[in-house]
Structure 1
Amino acid sequence: MEMALTVSQVARLAKISIRALHHYDELGLLCPSDRSEAGYRLYSQADLQKLQQVLFFKELGFPLEDIRRILGDPTFDLRTALRMQRQLLTERAARLDALVHAVDAALDALEKGTHVDKEAMFEAFGDFDPSKYEEEAKQRWGNTEAYKESARRTARYKKEDWKRIKEEGDVLFQALADLLAAGTSAASAAAMDLAEAHRQYLGRWFYACPPAMHRGLGEMYVADTRFTENIDKARPGLSLFLRDAFAANAERQGAADVPCG
């Protein structure tokens, strides 16, 4: 018979605090399956599996409220979630590995009194140019609050910030492209969860993006051929898939229709 674990045992096992487990319970994020006769929380194997998902999503930067909603969705699929998490973590690991090698090269050069090759110094950061469409964006959206907020934030970003922004965006788009390749519906929980992750990504790095605005962004991906061509390089039809996933996610959150700016 499966033995239930107490909150202190789970805290030691997962290397998190008892307070965190209590907080997850209060949020309805992770409620223990049972209680002892004395009223103490008891966690089952299924509870531990759910906790693992909470910690995976948390490590990837998902807010607790979004994690609660994702795990509470009746269409949530553990296998799909694990595959998505593995891809996101693999991409992060590759980035960190490149940065470790860059640091090692810099230390080695410092100790030997030599210089790292100028191009090699920044190889780990890639060649992403955030200013490529800056002037056009200013003309098109310069008077909007979203543009002003984005301009305030991005003015402080360094090359490593832009490298991280590009990598996070690439991972999300690739995960969506993989769903498209697998024949997954754009209205599936997996696609909507990734659409929500993309919306949160915009909010973290650029501007607050309500669901209705995010749906409008998806429409623009299809309406503007330059966006369509660039996005569809990852997989033909991806721009349409993004539009539909963004729209489905907005509808799931009860967003009202708004015109695309």
Structure 2
Amino acid sequence: MRSKFAAAILLLLSLPLHASEVEYTGAAPESIKIIGLRVPWLLDYEKPGPYNKVADALFSESPLAVHLELQPLKRAMRHFFEGDADCFFMGDTDEAYFIGTPLADTPIIVSEPFNTVNMRVFSFGNTEPFSSVDQITDKRVAVDLGVGGIIRIMQVIPNLTQAVDALNADQIHAMLSKGRAEAALMMDYDYALHAARHPEQALLQFDPALTVQKVQDAMMCKQTPRTETLIAHVNARIAGMSKSGRLVSILRPAVDFAHSHHKPSATAPTYSDY
């Protein structure tokens, strides 16, 4: 996610700390600590993307001060599940994440979703894309960390035999195009952001009829009176931005691309076709 989505303009209410943290001031002195999943070109302060703008919009004018720190997947999960973080931005309430953690019996509240994405099976070349998960169980499959990495995929597709972690869409495209992987699991939205940055690359293929998993990106928090106040504020912001069209304008062009991508045709599509 991207130079095309130039550095997100931090609102006047936010104060940058260092490259992975932002402080949003609030009317009350209490502070909410949020851990965000750092995904370059999607949500990242060095390589910002549309979710930077979403975070700015959701946490601006918050009734409570908000401290947002972005961390890589495993560190972010550990910080939220075992540390002192109040909330997880881009959280997933899949029970598999909670089993065996200190939060297994902790009440969790979740905001309304601000984006819906689909996990897809990607491949490279002009061959017919995979139309069933069963077709990749014996393949070497690159798993994007943006879908939760292998730890999550083995809960969704437990019979994968050759799954390997990939850091991002850039690495996945390289692995597929060079034959180091035969298939890849990645969110269509994340790939669309990658394709928008690299119109010179051959498009990866996926069957739009095959959705491995549908995921609603939202914020989840350990339930307390303070986090209930913040979630109510976030939900109000999401509703307002959805009604005004601002949310869609932030999330495009990737939404349009992801929803219009199709199987290969006699004339290979280019990015401009989308």
Between structure 1 and structure 2, the one with the greater Rg is 1
Is the shorter-chain TM-score for this pair beyond 0.5, marking a shared fold?
A: no
Tell me the TM-score range normalised by the shorter chain.
under 0.3
TM-score by length of 2: 0.26
